[in-house]
């Protein structure tokens, strides 16, 4: 008989098992935790923990969906965003859902400071990389993903894309960002 687990329940250590479907690794403790109410499945050969839902879940966002989100915070190795639009399904998300972008999923190059790639309030275009949530696990790797709209950190004017840089038309401030090829204002 399979073990029933609840959301947030500790399932094991990251050193012993990888996080599989409907699980995540808690950044502070290194524990693999359940995202949903379901049955714990241990794959001893692959050393992966998964949770099978008690009932079929209808997800707002599926793996591979492209979403738009607003940056609301930074914590340890994570950028926290509020998802408001699912571009793939062409629908606004009814209640803003939380998404997270891990440092390893921001860009193809190593990121030292998150503020060099994102700023508070930036609108980003990202792809959902894991099923389940919230929080939804997102990635901005690739040219078409990243910031699609940003405000100047000094005067709050909308930044304009000039080549690879973002420049404020009012105070001429240059802002470093992981800019999408689909940036809105040029």
Three-class secondary structure of residue 180 per DSSP: coil
pLDDT value of residue 164:
78
Share of the chain above pLDDT 70, in %: 91
pTM: 0.67
CA quadruple 34, 22, 35, 108: dihedral sign: positive
175 - beta bridge partners?
166
Number of other residues whose CB lies within 10 A of the CB of residue 176? 14
C-alpha distances in angstroms, 142 versus 38, 147, 167, 182?
A: 34, 12, 22, 11
pLDDT value of residue 2:
73
- Residues of the chain scoring pLDDT < 70: 1, 56-59, 96, 108-115, 186
pLDDT value of residue 30:
87
pLDDT value of residue 60:
73
Sorted by where each starts, the structural domains of the chain and their CATH numbers stand as 4-53 (2.40.50.100), 66-175 (2.40.50.140)
Between CA 75 and CA 79, with CA 77 as vertex, the angle to 5 degrees is 60
Distance CA 143, CA 93 (A): 24
pLDDT value of residue 59:
63
Please say whether the beta carbons of 81 and 106 come within 8 A: no
pLDDT value of residue 110:
63
């Amino acid at each position: 008989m399979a073990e029933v687990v609840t959301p947030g329940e500790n399932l094991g250590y990251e050193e012993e098992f990888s996080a599989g479907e409907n699980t995540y690794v808690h950044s502070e403790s290194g524990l693999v935790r359940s995202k949903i109410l379901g049955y714990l499945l241990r794959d001893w050969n692959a050393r992966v923990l998964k949770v099978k839902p008690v009932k079929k879940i209808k997800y707002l966002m599926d793996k591979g969906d492209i979403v738009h989100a607003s940056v609301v915070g930074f914590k340890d190795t994570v950028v926290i965003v509020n998802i408001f639009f699912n571009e793939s399904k062409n629908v606004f998300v009814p209640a803003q859902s939380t998404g997270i972008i891990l440092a390893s999923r921001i860009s193809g190059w190593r990121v030292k400071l998150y503020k060099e790639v994102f700023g508070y309030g930036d609108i980003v275009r990202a792809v959902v990389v894991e099923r389940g949530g919230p929080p939804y696990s997102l990635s901005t790797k690739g040219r078409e993903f990243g910031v699609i709209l940003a405000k100047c950190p000094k005067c709050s004017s909308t930044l304009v894309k000039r080549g690879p840089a973002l420049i404020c038309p009012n105070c001429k401030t240059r802002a470093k960002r992981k800019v999408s090829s689909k940036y809105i204002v040029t």
